[in-house]
Chain A
Amino acid sequence: MSTATVGDLVSQPYKHGFVTDIETEKIAKGLSEDVVRLISSKKNEPEFLLAFRLRAYRQWLQMQSPDWAALGHPAIDYQNIIYYAAPKQQEKKASLDEVDPKLLETFEKLGIPLSEQKRLSNVAVDAVFDSVSIATTYREKLAEHGVVFCSISEAVKEYPGLVEKYLGTVVPSNDNYFAALNSAVFSDGSFVFIPKGVACPMELSTYFRINSADTGQFERTLIIAEEGASVSYLEGCTAPMFDTNQLHAAVVELVVLEDASIKYSTVQNWYAGDESGVGGIYNFVTKRGQCRGDRSRISWTQVETGSAITWKYPSCVLQGADSVGEFYSVALTNNYQQADTGTKMIHVGPRTRSTIVSKGISAGHSSNSYRGLVQIGPKAVGAKNYSQCDSMLIGDQAAANTYPYIRSQQPDAAVEHEASTCRISADQLFYLQSRGIGFEEAVSMMVSGFCRDVFNQLPMEFAAEADKLLALKLEGSVG
């Protein structure tokens, strides 16, 4: 007789938990104005950026950590975090041959080969290790099309005008507690600029890796699509297993001008802590895009499977007339993971449209909340929103919540919200099993069926990956 339960199934080891043994330059723990200045000077930043950081730091000191999310965790000791850690090597390398082989090996192990021979075809990758970007592939090829894809530190040096013009204009430094913290201490991240009329010829991707213990990661990503430009961008994240919690507070800003579009996909698999909830990443992320031009479009797709805590609401500000915002999300929590995630769709311009499809899967003792705001402003004549929030419960110890907020100042607007909750029932599992389908495969079939609407939105190269990642997360000790 099979005695497997769904409980057995969902406890499965984390595959990216290794630590790379590499000499790292770290600054002392703790946060102060001096630390902010130190980070800025290490990066030889121009005056405007130091001023931006210091203003953010002073704002942060005046702010309180938000407590409205359905999350519980001990207070974070911001003086016990290292704010800058970088593998010891000189300047960014001109060629990959000069990059420490240990770093290349680390990314290869994570399935992200960077070397010329093995790199992913038609996907350009920026690899970020702890606080710094170590390599960006296909830069020259992209440059031929006028596309800039590099680390934000390089962008600060090479395109200071663009950075100064756009940084902090979508997510102001005092937007929220974690955005302020990020604005003060961000170390690296990706920068993308797609000039007018250019459809980016390849997928762009950034892979974030935390390696050092006690280190926070504060990356900053800025993507600008000029008039008529388009790009599809994907980020992936992993970290080693440490039994202390680590803070990750990122900010992503998207700027989309007339007739342009950005498709931003995330596969987040930070270390989630062990089965009793010890360790794991605290993931407090602010992601927002502005559809500034008419007929512009932003599409967020996220597959959130990692982190002890996820606090994340990728949002769209729909200013341009007829602009479109989309949010497709799968959030899977297991053991003692907690996720409070969703989106904000701010309709400003006339005939703006937004779609929200959220799929939450809760297993173990985890808690998974969807929190979303649909706001229709007084000028958003004919605005439309459709939201669908589905939750799936696995086992009988997990929690799923849905908090939809709708504010409309426009009587003409059409806002639709659908929600459902289901459970993988013992009878469904038995039915599949009694047709020769193993327990694990049965669960995985039902979970990927549940997520299909979202996976269909991922770039093709990554849709199969996402399916595999979910199956892996749910793979267990059966048989």
Chain B
Amino acid sequence: MIRPDAPVLLEISDLHARVEEQPILKGVNLTIRAGEIHAVMGRNGSGKSTLSKVLAGHPAYTVTAGSVFYMGADLLELAPEQRSRLGLFLGFQYPVEIPGVSNLEFLRVATNSRRGQRGEEELDTFAFEDLVRERLKVVQMDPAFLDRSVNEGFSGGEKKRNEILQMALLEPLVAILDETDSGFDIDALRIVADGVNQLAGRDNATLLITHYQRLLDLITPDYVHVMAAGRILRTGGKELALELERTGYEWVDQELASLGREPAEVV
């Protein structure tokens, strides 16, 4: 839902970042307002997954230039846990398994850290169980998964449900969902799409990272951005994604060539 007067949640300006010595982001500009759904598309190696990790504060990536403001604060100054407490959420494409750590306890600690930031009281085990049972409905997840270790032995679909469950509990203002390669995992796409469609609202925003149109058949974006060689090459509405589906990414190479840049390197 585009409202030109809606408050700006995230403002990315001329963002450059590298991993080890390899520059990946080379000047990303993007403004996200409340109520909007953005999709970032692009080939493997275009930098779209890196963008999501840099925004969440992954320590392997170093920002070399540019700025990111989140709700008016300098996002890049904040530790990853502070970003989360302030309402920035990264849904992982491949969530890691954490043996020995109870999923229920993990969800409770995470939820309470966000609640603490918002000045809400901490939920004890009993109050939290009530909340989590209600939010489980968003993802139709079997409560048995609460008693297991975080993501341990979960199927791909269950991991995805667990991610969206976390999103439902943390009630983020900006949710970044990295679905780069899940184009052929219809189950995963449906779980993510159902979650986003239920949770997206007037006051929050969603940034979808994807390679394929399929996810956008299920979620209608307000903006589609095409990334290549570490920058956003073109921005349009939902029709841009359909055009990409039809014509493929060849035109991206031609456009890059005409700009005098090398095609995106595969990392």
Contact flags A414-427 to B (C-beta < 8 A → 1, else 0): 00000000100111
Smallest CB separation, B18 vs chain A (Å):
14
Smallest CB separation, B88 vs chain A (Å):
9
> Which of B25-33, B54-62, B133-141 is found at the contact surface with chain A?
B54-62
Q: Judging by beta carbons under 8 Å apart, are A436 and B84 in contact? A: yes
Give which listed residue, A1, A2, A435, A450, contacts B110 with CB less than 8 A. Answer: A435
Residues of chain B contacted by A452 (CB below 8 angstroms): 100
A88 CA / B41 CA spacing, docked (Å): 79
Smallest CB separation, B175 vs chain A (Å):
12
Smallest CB separation, B90 vs chain A (Å):
5
Q: What does DSSP make chain A's interface, helix, strand, loop or mixed? A: helix
> Which of A291-299, A366-374, A438-446 is found at the contact surface with chain B?
A438-446
**Residue A276 interfacial (CB < 8 Å):** no
Residues of chain B contacted by A438 (CB below 8 angstroms): 79, 81, 113
Instruction: Known A2-B59, A430-B59, A449-B149; judge A436-B85 contact (CB<8 A).
Output: yes
Give which listed residue, A1, A3, A445, A446, contacts B109 with CB less than 8 A. Answer: A445
A3 CA / B99 CA spacing, docked (Å): 25
Count chain A residues whose beta carbon lies closer than 8 angstroms to a beta carbon of B. 25
Q: Judging by beta carbons under 8 Å apart, are A434 and B90 in contact? A: yes
Instruction: Known A434-B57, A445-B101, A445-B106; judge A427-B96 contact (CB<8 A).
Output: yes
Smallest CB separation, A470 vs chain B (Å):
13
Instruction: Known A445-B109, A449-B101, A449-B102; judge A436-B114 contact (CB<8 A).
Output: yes
- What size tier do the contact residues of chain B reach? 20 to 34
Residues of chain B contacted by A78 (CB below 8 angstroms): none
Q: Judging by beta carbons under 8 Å apart, are B98 and A439 in contact? A: no
Q: Judging by beta carbons under 8 Å apart, are A422 and B84 in contact? A: no
Q: Judging by beta carbons under 8 Å apart, are A428 and B98 in contact? A: yes
Residues of chain B contacted by A435 (CB below 8 angstroms): 81, 84, 106, 110, 113, 166, 170
**Residue A431 interfacial (CB < 8 Å):** yes
Q: Judging by beta carbons under 8 Å apart, are A425 and B96 in contact? A: yes
Residues of chain A contacted by B92 (CB below 8 angstroms): 431
A428-479: which have CB < 8 Å to B? 428, 430-439, 441, 445-446, 448-450, 452
Q: Judging by beta carbons under 8 Å apart, are A446 and B59 in contact? A: no
Q: Judging by beta carbons under 8 Å apart, are B95 and A1 in contact? A: no
Smallest CB separation, B198 vs chain A (Å):
20
Residues of chain A contacted by B81 (CB below 8 angstroms): 2, 433-439
Q: Judging by beta carbons under 8 Å apart, are A446 and B57 in contact? A: no
Q: In this complex, what residue of A is CB-closest to B91?
A: A434
Residues of chain A contacted by B85 (CB below 8 angstroms): 436
Smallest CB separation, B213 vs chain A (Å):
28
Instruction: Known A428-B96, A446-B100, A449-B102; judge A434-B80 contact (CB<8 A).
Output: yes
A354 CA / B65 CA spacing, docked (Å): 61
Smallest CB separation, A342 vs chain B (Å):
21
Q: In this complex, what residue of A is CB-closest to B149?
A: A449
A368 CA / B114 CA spacing, docked (Å): 38
Q: Judging by beta carbons under 8 Å apart, are B77 and A449 in contact? A: no
Smallest CB separation, B184 vs chain A (Å):
24
Smallest CB separation, B13 vs chain A (Å):
18
Residues of chain A contacted by B105 (CB below 8 angstroms): 445
Q: In this complex, what residue of B is CB-closest to A442?
A: B81
Q: Judging by beta carbons under 8 Å apart, are B101 and A436 in contact? A: no
**Residue B161 interfacial (CB < 8 Å):** no
Q: Judging by beta carbons under 8 Å apart, are B84 and A433 in contact? A: yes
A435 CA / B98 CA spacing, docked (Å): 13
Q: Judging by beta carbons under 8 Å apart, are B59 and A432 in contact? A: no
A434 CA / B76 CA spacing, docked (Å): 14
Smallest CB separation, A438 vs chain B (Å):
5
**Residue B83 interfacial (CB < 8 Å):** yes
Instruction: Known A426-B59, A426-B60; judge A436-B96 contact (CB<8 A).
Output: no
9 smallest CB-CB distances across A and B, nearest first, come from: A449-B100, A436-B113, A2-B79, A435-B110, A436-B84, A433-B80, A449-B101, A436-B85, A433-B81
CB<8 Å pairs between A and B, sample of 30: A1-B59, A1-B76, A2-B57, A2-B59, A2-B81, A426-B60, A430-B56, A430-B80, A431-B92, A431-B96, A431-B98, A434-B80, A435-B113, A435-B170, A436-B85, A436-B114, A436-B117, A436-B170, A437-B106, A437-B110, A437-B113, A438-B79, A438-B81, A439-B81, A445-B105, A446-B98, A446-B100, A446-B101, A449-B101, A449-B149
**Additional pairs, 17, CB under 8 Å, beyond known A441-B109, A450-B100, A452-B100:** A1-B57, A1-B59, A2-B59, A2-B79, A425-B96, A428-B96, A431-B92, A431-B96, A431-B98, A433-B81, A434-B57, A434-B81, A435-B84, A439-B79, A445-B105, A448-B100, A450-B99
